[in-house]
Amino acid sequence: MIKIIQDEDSTSLQERYAVIHATRQSRKRYAESTVTLYETAEQAYAAADKQNKRYAAVVYGPSVSSESQRIYYLVRWL
């Protein structure tokens, strides 16, 4: 995983549970359109579907990339 600098005072950037639609799990950043957020880890686990390449994870974001896209950084796979 990449080292993510976290802003503790930010109200929009935070760690969240999610399911990521990922054709490969080696990426470190994911577009907002591939990320579905959940309130709990259990909800993310329940929504995950490996056959359809949807994996539970902890993400950090959203952040705006240099291409002006909203992205989430992968913290860890669940």
pLDDT tens, position by position, 2-19: 555 555 555 567 899 999
Residue 43: give the domain boundaries: 14-77
Q: Would residue 7 count as lying in a domain?
A: no
Predicted local distance difference test score (pLDDT) of residue 46: 98
Identity of the residue numbered 2: I
Q: Which two tokens stand for residue 37?
A: 């957020």
Q: Would residue 64 count as lying in a domain?
A: yes
Indicate the pTM of the whole model.
0.82
Question: What is the average pLDDT across 48-77?
Answer: 93
What's the domain count of the chain?
1
Q: Which two tokens stand for residue 57?
A: 């994870």
Vertex 78 angle, CA 73 and 26, to 5°: 50
CA distance 60 to 5: 10
